[in-house]
């Protein structure tokens, strides 16, 4: 079992020194984007990927994807 520091080091080495947290956030946003396309609401997608706050999720999603979750559904 890895602790956070070991996992971060391991992923950093295998992902061209990309820090763990941005990698994790990107993965979470990709899962959320898939859920949105499949018909989930923004609230359902946010909760499914571990966000408790819809506003925080919306800001993070927009920072990662360049659009709000509500606009991603129609793309």
Domain CATH code at residue 15: 1.10.10.60
For residue 47, count other CB atoms closer than 10 A to its CB.
16
Answering whether pTM is above 0.85, one says no
What six digits make up the tokens of 21?
A: 């947290």
Domains in the chain, number: 1
Spacing of C-alpha 33 from chain mean position: 8
pLDDT score recorded for residue 11: 59
How sure is the predictor about 66, in pLDDT bands with cuts at 50, 70 and 90?
A: very high
User: What are the helix (H) ranges across the chain?
Assistant: 4-14, 20-37, 42-48, 54-65, 69-72
Task: Answer whether residue 9 shows pLDDT above 60.
Answer: yes
Q: What is the mean pLDDT of residues 36-54?
A: 94
Backbone angles phi, psi at 46, to 5 degrees: -60, -45
Instruction: Output 35 or 23, whichever has higher pLDDT.
Output: 35
Domain housing 24: 4-72
Q: Please tell me the distance from the alpha carbon of residue 48 to that of residue 3, in angstroms, as a whole number.
A: 23
């Amino acid at each position: 079992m890895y602790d956070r520091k070991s996992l971060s080091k391991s992923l950093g080495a295998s992902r061209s020194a990309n820090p763990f947290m941005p990698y994790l956030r990107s993965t979470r946003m990709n899962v959320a984007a898939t859920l949105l396309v499949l018909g989930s609401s923004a609230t359902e997608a946010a909760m499914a990927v571990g966000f408790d706050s819809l506003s925080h999720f919306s800001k993070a999603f927009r920072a990662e994807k360049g659009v709000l979750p509500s606009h991603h559904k129609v793309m």
